Amino acid sequence: MELMKKNIHTERIKSKALLQVPLETDINVSDAKPDVAKVIYDCGKIKVDEIKTGMNKIWVKGRLCYQLLYQTEGTLSNDKEERALAGMEGEIPFMEEIYLDKLEGQDRVICRSSLDDMRVHIINSRKLSIQAVMTLEPRVEESIAEELCVELDHSGDSELEKLEYRKKSLDFLETVVKKRDLLRIHEETRLPAGMPDIGAALWKNAEISSISFRPMDEKLGITGELSLFLVYREDASGRMNWYETMIPFNGTVECQNSREGMIADVMYETGHEEISIREDADGEQRLIGIEMTVELEIKLYEKESTSIVADVYGVSCEVQAGIDSRQFRNLCTEQNIEEKLTRSIRLEDADPKILQVCHSDARAKIEETVFKEGMLRFSGEIELQVLYASNEGGAGLYPVRTSVPFEIERELAGVDESQVEQYSLSVQIPQQTVSIKDSSQLEWRGTMNIELRLYSAKSEDILTELSVMPLNADVLEKLPGFAIYYVKPGDSLWQIGKKYYVSVGRIKEMNNMTEDDIKAGDKLLIVK
């Protein structure tokens, strides 16, 4: 008797951790930069450069990359104080040791990072203090190759006639592709006609506003949009100006065995970024080039359903079946949630009046995710930074900072929260607008997209080995020729047949049954 087996590949989380880390440092303004009067805009990104592994611990090395746009100290001109704008950028290195249970030296660690908060304070005109909080989420996912018994091979073997076996359906996610890759983005845009040429860039920033992934034949298709914001000094007049636009991008990366219809679970982080100002064919500084790399952690799953041999017993022979419990990952639910949010923003009395909105930046932070009693709940806030122009003062750009709290609830039918092993969460704000209600009030409107996948880990008993031996004479003598069996709560035809060495088909035949359903108190005739 031989077991016919099917090879599958799945995975499980071997170890994971979560660590919030405060960062604080003082930075000096370089001699080439003017004095700082007020920081009006800032942004930061966490970049993980290296992960070293040891026994039960890792060392994460990386940087906080920051950018600042500030007003300079004023100068008197025509009895009126004028302020200019300047920008600066830099990096704050870090090295963190994190404990990871069950980690071994050869394991590959994936570490997701996020910047939870960043504040910039002025110590004096030549010195600033940066305080930040970042989150590091390392985890190790273990690839598992399993063999499933899908049939009993009895070619030329009459032993099968002495066996009773049953099958069951097994649903699981098979890992088809698991790899790291790099997407290179090369885009270029031009200043619109009518805008002055670029003299010197004071602030230049490009971020992924939205991104989506679609499995295709032997490759992964990627589409998205870049949000570009540029503050610059005009070439001819030296006045300050700004430019904001959205740039679509697309690309592909090779993925062997990828097919349409698969489930794509992709983590991404931006790596190297470079924004350059170039001359056009007329020799004017009007072209803006963007070079960016996107580091991808790609996993492609395929939903599988296969019938496997669950258990075996002998009718006229003794059977020893090796049964082992294994865990299989499945997809509980996949949801794309869209939520529209609004926020009225009122300026302080001392703030300059609004003339024009030039830029807004919204970053969503989910602080709590709860799966309970058939409900899914997200709560958190969106941090808003808005830059607007005013005809008061000399600088022309002024900041507004606020937050938009949110709480989102959705039904989560058919999900057992006790079996949820892992969830994958992606949050994007692909659309946002800021409108002027009056000279001291703004209204922000945005759309938040949340892509959620819930994975479960379910244990299943798997047949791993089988041996067939002649039935022991003592066992045979003790079996009754026939018996009346009263069904007890929890009994099944399979259990009764296994106890009396009778096939399920034989029991149904002797009792004129067409279905396998029985209930407590039923009487069954058992004939050997």
Q: Could you give all domains of the chain from N- to C-terminal order, each with its CATH number?
A: 14-141 (no CATH), 154-315 (no CATH), 326-466 (no CATH), 473-528 (3.10.350.10)
Q: Say yes or no to pLDDT of 75 above 80.
A: no
The 10s digit of each residue's pLDDT in 230-267 is 999 998 888 889 999 999 999 999 999 999 999 999 99
**Which region among 52-61, 147-156, 349-358, 461-470 has the lowest average model confidence (pLDDT)?**
147-156
Q: Where does the pLDDT of residue 80 fall: very low under 50, low under 70, confident under 90, or very high at 90 and above? A: very low
Q: Which residue, chain included where needed, has tokens 């950028």? A: 89
Task: Count CB atoms within 10 A of the CB of residue 263.
Answer: 16
Q: How far is CA 95 from CA 21, 103, 116, in A?
A: 10, 19, 18
Decide if pLDDT at 78 tops 50. no
Mean pLDDT over residues 60-89, rounded?
78
Provide CB contacts within 8 A for 269, sequence distance 6+.
Answer: 47, 48, 113, 294, 295
367 touches 380 (CB < 8 A): yes
Strands, E, within 315-396: which ranges? Answer: 317-346, 356-372, 375-389
Q: What is the pLDDT of residue 394?
A: 57
pLDDT greater than 90 at residue 373? no
Residue 395 vs residue 11, higher pLDDT: 11
Residue % of the chain over a pLDDT of 90: 59
Q: What is the pTM of this model?
A: 0.85
Q: CA angle 207-209-210, nearest 5°?
A: 135
What is the C-alpha separation between 356 and 362, in angstroms, rounded? 18
pLDDT, tens digit (0-9, with 9 covering 90-100), for 307-352: 998 888 888 888 888 888 888 888 888 889 999 999 999 998 888 8
Question: Average pLDDT in the 462-478 region?
Answer: 81
- Binned at pLDDT 50, 70 and 90, residue 154 comes out as low
Encode pLDDT of 165-200 as tens digits: 888 899 999 999 999 999 999 999 999 998 999 999
| pLDDT at 179 (0 to 100) | 93
Q: What is the mean pLDDT of residues 396-418?
A: 86
Whether pLDDT at 159 is above 70: no
95 — pLDDT class (breaks 50, 70, 90): very high
- Residue 113 pLDDT greater than 90, yes or no: yes
